[in-house]
């Protein structure tokens, strides 16, 4: 991993019903914020929110959503690809992705390289309750870039320690989390810091702001977290960005932020692999909370 400047960019969806015109407006907003952020900060990796091309809750059927988006790469990613190529930056772009049959839609994070090509894509593996307009993905993804090895998770994925751990074991140094989080700022911060600390990785978490086509309101609060769980950049609730320089040489220098005590342990290297091996069947077993809840 090289030292570089990362940005979490807060993008508000276009107001009103989802239409081809609003999708175009959303893409224009994404490109405008990418341009302005790079110009102001020199960011080399920019992470945009979940479903930035449409807003998270689209308010239309899966069939209508399929018609409004595209394959990845495709027309829905082309404006962001062109911006990345023009600026020479990496972009993680959240968008719905058209699947092979009409009505099959994925919630996707596309990793765009500085040549404008789509380096890889990740399809959300843990769908939020009621997110029945998309099909879940099946695989963790880690992308090797000149800046760092990037792991990917989307919003509710960040509640599940297994996904981030798999990606860390696969070599991820920075986990990018495009999101449109619908719960509290406390849970947002808790899960970002926990996934960073669990695995000693940077987390660049971009949360939506504004109101999406279904009328859902988002609170922003995008953040960048270090491998010792220090929040080094935090956004407010308006459109814009936060940035931080990610430096591998100092990421694990101290036990806690600002401490004179050096960091000596490694959550990955010191896992009890015998324990994990002994309980693999239990880890794979279906389970549910024993406490009453709405489901």
Evaluate whether 182 touches 207 at the Cβ level (below 8 Å): no
Q: How far apart are CA 243 and CA 245, in angstroms?
A: 7
Q: Give the CA radius of gyration of the chain.
A: 19
Q: Which residue numbers are catalytic?
A: 50, 124, 155
DSSP 232: E
For residue 177, what are the β-bridge partners?
205
* Cis, bond preceding 20 (omega within 30 deg of 0): no
How far is 189 from 259, CA to CA, in rounded Å? 21
Return d(Cα 155, Cα 165) in angstroms, integer: 16
Length of the chain: 295
């Amino acid at each position: 991993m090289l030292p570089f400047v990362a940005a979490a960019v807060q993008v508000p969806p276009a107001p009103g019903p989802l239409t081809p015109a609003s999708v175009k407006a959303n893409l224009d907003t994404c490109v405008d914020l990418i341009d302005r952020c790079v110009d102001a900060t020199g960011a080399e990796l920019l992470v945009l929110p979940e479903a930035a091309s449409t807003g998270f809750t689209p308010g239309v059927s899966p069939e209508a959503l399929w018609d409004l988006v595209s394959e990845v790469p495709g027309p829905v990613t082309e404006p962001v690809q062109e911006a990345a190529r023009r600026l020479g930056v990496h972009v993680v772009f959240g968008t719905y992705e058209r699947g092979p049959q009409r009505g099959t839609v994925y919630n996707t994070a596309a990793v765009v390289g500085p040549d404008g090509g789509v380096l890889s894509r990740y399809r959300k593996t843990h769908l939020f309750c009621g997110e029945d307009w998309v099909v879940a993905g099946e695989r963790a993804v880690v992308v090797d870039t000149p800046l760092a090895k990037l792991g990917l998770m989307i919003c509710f994925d960040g509640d599940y320690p297994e996904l981030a751990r798999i990606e860390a074991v696969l070599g991820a140094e920075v986990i990018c989390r495009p999101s449109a989080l619908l719960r509290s700022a406390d849970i947002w911060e808790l899960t970002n810091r926990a996934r960073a600390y669990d695995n000693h990785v940077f987390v660049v978490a971009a949360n939506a702001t504004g109101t999406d086509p279904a009328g859902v309101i988002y609170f922003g609060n995008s953040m960048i977290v270090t491998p010792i769980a220090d929040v080094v950049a935090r956004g407010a609730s308006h459109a814009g960005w936060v940035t931080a320089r990610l430096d591998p040489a100092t990421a694990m220098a101290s036990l806690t932020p600002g401490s004179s005590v050096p960091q000596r342990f490694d959550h990955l290297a010191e896992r009890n692999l015998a324990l994990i091996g002994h309980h693999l069947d239990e880890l794979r077993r279906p389970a549910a909370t024993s406490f009453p809840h709405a489901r």
